Amino acid sequence: MLKRVFLCSLLFALTLLAIGGVAAQDGFVLHVFGPTSLDNLGSMAPDDVQAQVEREVIDGYLAENPDVADVVWDAQGPIDGGVTRLLTAHLAGERMDVIGCAANPTNGAYVRRGVLRDITDDIADWVDRFEPASLDAYTIGGRVYGIPVSPVSTSSFFYNVDLFNELGLAEPDSYDDFIAVAAALDEAGYVPVLHQGKNVWMWPMWYFETAAQTMGDSIAKTVQNLRGEAKFTDAPDVEALARIGQFVDDGILDRDSLSVDWDGMRSAFASQQSAVYYGGTWELPWIEANVIDFEWGVFEFPQLADVPGTRGHGGGPDSGYCIYSGVSEEALPHAVAFLEYLSRPEIADKHLGIMEPLATSIKGVTVVESDIADDLRSNHFPNTARFLDWIWPTEINDAFQSAIQGIVGGTITAEEGMASIQDVFDDLVFDGYSYDD
């Protein structure tokens, strides 16, 4: 019986195993490689809308370029597998012309490993289509490695307006206000701020906020650190980390946040167990869809006391398009033409517009209108600075994530935390890291 089952299953499977042949194409085919399933046009829109708009945009490009037979867009895989998928595609010699390049891995990994072409000169004629701050996210050492094609985010606190009204609380403006609000919430039996601390990459966002205020110009200071002209152990850096710990010690941020995941945080907020949470404006679609039992609102990260700087929320364009450094001579002009096409305001209006953006990396795109959107645009966006983790090498970013966990958990001091980060940096330099390379 065993034998029969073996043989049957073998034969059955073998007959099914025919591998479909790939149809030959006439003319040039442009290959767009998406390291993750999100690296496609309008990725944050619902699937069917996304597919339709992507088809429409590509058809427009093909109509304009009769010598291009087709655009093959291969975007798959999980978010944290992007670097691996790109690595294996590279090792396999897979054809890639344009690469969908999220800002984070582009800065942390792709450019340093030489995967991307320096396109500064290729895009020079139409570079003014982009918001300068957004283009910065793809500029390293003065050279541009990609075009930002994305909604632009900023960061905010989201809170339960009904609950605040019920307890007679106002949106906190200063840090001291926030302490008072947290105390009142705690008194009433609510967790003041529950953060998604299990998602380690969210922790540096708190550091961007505190660093902007303790350093004044946190971007410049970070670059100095990375050039070796200053240290992560300098007083303003240590202070920025210490201030995060302060949030926990003063009863604002719940220490238990460390093990809460994204859905846990949102669930606690939606079910009115926590009153406030912190996040990027990418939270808006989820809140609008799922917070149904009460009214919610936004307020800015508070102004800290006794610091030289003012508010600076982390923000920027999430994704963009780059050109593979191994692109063939034949494919290069087509790849550049495709980037140019995608970044035209009227085309961007289609693929960015479907994501209902608050703001976009390309000028002249329709943005969403609502009270909250206006509030965010007029109050939060002017105080927005580039995410520091788009400047840090990945190793430094990871060191920050760990150190902040240590501070929040109360297991290390700010000095120890920053010293561990400096150690990681020294190690990188020891291995040949240089900011300007």
Partner 1 sequence: MATAARQPRPETLPDLFSKALSDRLKLLLVYAILIIATVQTIYPLFWMVFGSLKTDADLFNNVWGPPRTMIWQNYVDAWRIADLGARIGNSIIITALSLTVLLIVSSIAAYALARLQFPGRQAIFLIILATMMIPPEVTVIPLFIVVRTLGILNSRFGLVFVYAGTSMAFSIFLLRGFFMSIPPELEDAALVDGANRLQVFWYVVLPLARPGLATVAIFQGMFFWNEFFLAFIFIRQAELQTIPLGLVNFFYRYSADWTLYFAALSMVTIPVIVLYVGMQRWFIEGLTAGAVKS
Partner 2 sequence: MRTNETAAGSASVKRKRYPRVYRHLSAYMMMTPAIILLIIFVIIPIIYGFYLSFHRWDGFNSPVFIGTRNYIRLIERDDVFLKAVTNTIIFAISVVLVKNVLGLFLALLVNQKIKGVIFFRTALFLPVTLSFVVIGLLWSWIYNPTFGLLNAGLELVGLDSWIRAWLSDQATALGAIITVDIWKWTGFHMVLFLAGLQSIPRDLYEVAIIDGASAWTRLTRITLPLLAPVTFISVLLSLNGAFVRNFELVFVMTDGGPNHTTEVVLTHLVTQAFRFGKLGYASAMGFALFVVVAVIAFTYIRIGRSGAYNF
Answer whether 409's CB lies under 8 Å from 187's CB. no
Amino acid at 275: A
Closer residue to partner 1, CB minimum distance, 13 or 24: 13
**Secondary structure letter of residue 112 according to DSSP:** T
From 49, 79, 124, 220, residue interacting with partner 1 (rule: CB under 8 A): 79
Backbone dihedral region for residue 142 (phi beyond 0: left; psi -120 to 50: alpha; all else: beta): left
* Shortest distance, position 340 Cβ to partner 2, whole Å: 27
Residue range at the interface with partner 1 (CB under 8 A); choices 181-189, 224-232, 252-260, 275-283: 275-283
Q: Is 389 in the site for partner 2 (CB under 8 A)?
A: no
Element (H, E) at 410: none
Tokens of 362: 């390309």
Question: Distance between CA 51 and CA 313 in Å, rounded?
Answer: 33
Residue 63, contacted partner among partner 1, partner 2, none, CB below 5-8 A by kind: none
Closer residue to partner 2, CB minimum distance, 196 or 361: 196
- Say if residue 161 is exposed, middle or buried (CB neighbours under 10 Å; 0-12, 13-18, 19+): middle
CA dihedral 50, 263, 160, 371 (to 10 degrees): -10
* Shortest distance, position 16 Cβ to partner 1, whole Å: 5
- Say if residue 94 is exposed, middle or buried (CB neighbours under 10 Å; 0-12, 13-18, 19+): middle
Residue range at the interface with partner 2 (CB under 8 A); choices 4-12, 195-203, 224-232, 352-360: 195-203
What value, to the nearest 5°, has the Cα angle with vertex 194 and ends 192 and 200?
150
Query: Regarding beta strands 155-160 and 274-280, do their DSSP bridges make them parallel or antiparallel, or are they unpaired?
Result: antiparallel
Q: How many residues bind partner 1 (CB under 8 A)?
A: 48
Q: Is 255 in the site for partner 2 (CB under 8 A)?
A: yes
* DSSP SS3 for 55: helix
Residue numbers 107-146 binding partner 2 by CB under 8 A: 109, 113-115
Residue numbers 226-265 binding partner 1 by CB under 8 A: 262-263
Residue numbers 393-422 binding partner 2 by CB under 8 A: 394-395, 398, 401-403, 405-406, 408-409, 411-412
- In total, the chain counts a number of residues equal to 437
Q: Is 2 in the site for partner 1 (CB under 8 A)?
A: yes
Residue of 153, 54, 111, 133 whose CA lies nearest to 436: 111
Backbone dihedral region for residue 313 (phi beyond 0: left; psi -120 to 50: alpha; all else: beta): beta
* Shortest distance, position 278 Cβ to partner 2, whole Å: 16
What value, to the nearest 5°, has the Cα angle with vertex 398 and ends 396 and 404?
100
Q: Is 63 in the site for partner 1 (CB under 8 A)?
A: no
Residue 133 CB: number of other CB atoms within 10 A? 17
Question: Distance between CA 409 and CA 253 in Å, rounded?
Answer: 11
Instruction: Please report, for residues 159, 312, 380, the alpha-carbon distance to residue 383 in angstroms, rounded to integers and kept in the order given.
Output: 20, 5, 5
CA 278 from centre of chain: 15
Tokens of 310: 């003012």
Binding mask 89-128 for partner 1 (x = CB under 8 A): x-xxxx----------------------------------
* Shortest distance, position 42 Cβ to partner 2, whole Å: 26
From 129, 221, 266, 386, residue interacting with partner 1 (rule: CB under 8 A): 266
Residue range at the interface with partner 2 (CB under 8 A); choices 16-24, 171-179, 339-347, 392-400: 392-400
Residue 10, contacted partner among partner 2, partner 1, none, CB below 5-8 A by kind: partner 1
CA 360 from centre of chain: 14
Residue 431, contacted partner among partner 2, partner 1, none, CB below 5-8 A by kind: partner 2
Binding mask 312-331 for partner 1 (x = CB under 8 A): ------x-------------
Binding mask 58-97 for partner 2 (x = CB under 8 A): -------------------------xx--x--xx------
Query: Regarding beta strands 313-317 and 152-153, do their DSSP bridges make them parallel or antiparallel, or are they unpaired?
Result: antiparallel
For partner 1, the binding residues (CB under 8 A) are 2-3, 6, 9-10, 12-14, 16-17, 19-20, 37-38, 43-44, 47, 74, 76-79, 81, 84-85, 87-89, 91-94, 262-263, 266-267, 270-271, 280, 282-283, 285-286, 289-290, 292-293, 318
For partner 2, the binding residues (CB under 8 A) are 83-84, 87, 90-91, 109, 113-115, 191, 194, 197-198, 200, 254-261, 263-264, 267-268, 271, 273-274, 394-395, 398, 401-403, 405-406, 408-409, 411-412, 427, 431
